[in-house]
């Protein structure tokens, strides 16, 4: 499958390599999301404790953060396709292990082996996005990056709609072991797609800098770029304090009184909103007022989280989560575009990994924060407080980061 970009202008989807890369991204996300929604249901059925849901996020985020910088270094050093395929095999191993636990073959009724399996997920997930980000710049031309980021967001968020819904349906129709089994198959498919992708990967010229010097180079690049750093920090704190979706299993059973199918709908609703806004941004990419748009999107996300926390009706709750996905989708496209436009090709793995620490870890840290606050304050007060703090984060960033507020993507 030739991945060399064509000379003709047009949609990034005309590039065969981009299509294969998107297919890899979709399969990997489907696998991860099916596991995520199934594990939440699995653990809550065993414990009936929202704090146990927060521990799921903690079990994943600690190894993720610990491995992320080293993963970025390896993505810049080693063949990216093979490294990504190896990470997908780790996703498969996690799903198989969880299936054996759900079937009662390993420590029946215990939660510790579930958390142990999630630790492996955190380790291998630290490679998935840097591999995608680095290969993204090899299958598209620079002038295609903004539209490519929007289209990538559409496919990514579509997988995040389908994955939770599919996981919830499988748990309700069959059992958790079946859901884990499908996740393992999708992980194998993701790895296979990377191996058949044909793309020219850059070869390092001259001696490679020592490990920690190379990682430090990536860190200095990010922290010296005020726009990139501001966008990543904004998302980190917004998602950290607005991580209400991790409490969806508890809301479903204690407040909204729905089954596992409803959990899949709630987990997929934010991604559905992100798909809708991604379609709009793919046709009309943000430009002159991108910074203001990013700040308003984060503020809107906080308001939607407050609405979700106060709602007592299932479909109203799903609507608030879908609108939160619209706001988050704007943020995702803008962050991705900024990162692709300003990052040198030989640093894409390291920069993507640092971005992942800000962005990827915020979901799991947010899950732990939400579970802890729910235990202290109760479900509804914890979610409402998180939404209010998110509003404060958006206001503070608008005040303290004028360069981000005045961002014009055309200047990049």
- The pLDDT of residue 7: 39
- The pLDDT of residue 331: 82
Cα(251)–Cα(114) distance, integer angstroms:
22
Average pLDDT over residues 24-48: 87
Better-predicted residue by pLDDT, 195 or 405: 195
Task: Work out whether the CA dihedral 245, 251, 252, 253 comes out positive or negative.
Answer: positive
What's the predicted TM-score (pTM) here? 0.72
The yes-or-no verdict on residue 206 having pLDDT over 60 is no
The answer to whether the CB of 274 falls within 8 A of the CB of 153 is yes
3-class secondary structure, 205? coil
**What's the whole-number average pLDDT of the chain?**
81
Give the phi and the psi of residue 2 in degrees, each rounded to 5. Answer: -65, 135
- The pLDDT of residue 51: 78
CB atoms within 10 A of CB 206: 5
Each residue's pLDDT tens digit, 86-125: 999 999 999 999 999 888 888 777 788 888 889 998 899 8
């Amino acid at each position: 499958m030739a991945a060399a970009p064509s000379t003709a202008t047009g949609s990034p989807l005309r590039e065969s390599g981009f299509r294969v890369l998107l297919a890899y991204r979709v399969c990997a996300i489907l696998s991860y999301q099916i596991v995520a929604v199934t594990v939440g249901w699995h653990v809550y059925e065993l414990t009936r404790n929202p704090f146990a849901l927060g521990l799921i996020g903690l079990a994943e985020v600690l190894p993720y953060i610990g491995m992320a910088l080293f993963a970025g270094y390896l993505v810049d050093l080693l063949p990216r396709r093979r490294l990504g395929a190896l990470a997908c095999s780790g996703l498969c191993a996690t799903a198989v292990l969880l299936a054996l636990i759900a079937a009662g073959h390993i420590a029946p009724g215990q939660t510790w082996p579930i958390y142990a399996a999630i630790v492996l997920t955190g380790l291998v997930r630290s490679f998935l996005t840097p591999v995608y980000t680095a290969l993204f710049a090899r299958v598209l031309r620079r002038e295609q990056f903004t539209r490519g980021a929007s289209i990538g967001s559409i496919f990514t968020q579509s997988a995040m709609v389908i994955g939770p819904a599919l996981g919830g349906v499988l748990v309700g129709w069959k059992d958790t072991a079946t859901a884990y089994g499908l996740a393992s198959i999708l992980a194998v498919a993701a790895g296979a797609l990377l191996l058949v992708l044909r793309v020219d990967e850059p070869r390092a010229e001259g001696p490679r800098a020592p490990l920690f010097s190379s990682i430090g180079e990536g860190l200095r690049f990010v922290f010296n770029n005020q726009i990139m750093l501001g966008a990543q920090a904004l998302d980190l704190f917004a998602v950290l304090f607005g991580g209400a979706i991790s409490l969806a299993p508890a809301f479903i059973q204690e407040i909204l009184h729905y089954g596992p199918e409803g959990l899949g709908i709630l987990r997929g609703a934010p991604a559905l909103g992100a798909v809708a806004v991604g379609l709009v941004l793919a046709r009309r990419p943000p430009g002159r007022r991108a910074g203001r748009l990013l700040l308003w999107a984060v503020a809107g996300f906080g308001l939607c989280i407050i609405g979700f926390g106060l709602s007592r009706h299932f479909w109203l709750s799903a609507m608030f989560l879908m609108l939160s996905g619209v706001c988050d989708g704007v943020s995702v496209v803008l962050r991705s575009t900024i990162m692709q436009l300003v990052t040198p090709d030989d640093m894409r793995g390291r920069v993507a990994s640092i971005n992942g620490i800000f962005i990827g870890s915020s979901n799991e840290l947010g899950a732990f924060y939400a579970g802890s606050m729910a235990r202290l304050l109760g479900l509804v007060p914890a979610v409402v407080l998180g939404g209010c703090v998110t509003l404060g984060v958006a206001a503070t960033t608008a005040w303290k980061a004028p360069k981000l507020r005045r961002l014009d993507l055309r200047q990049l």
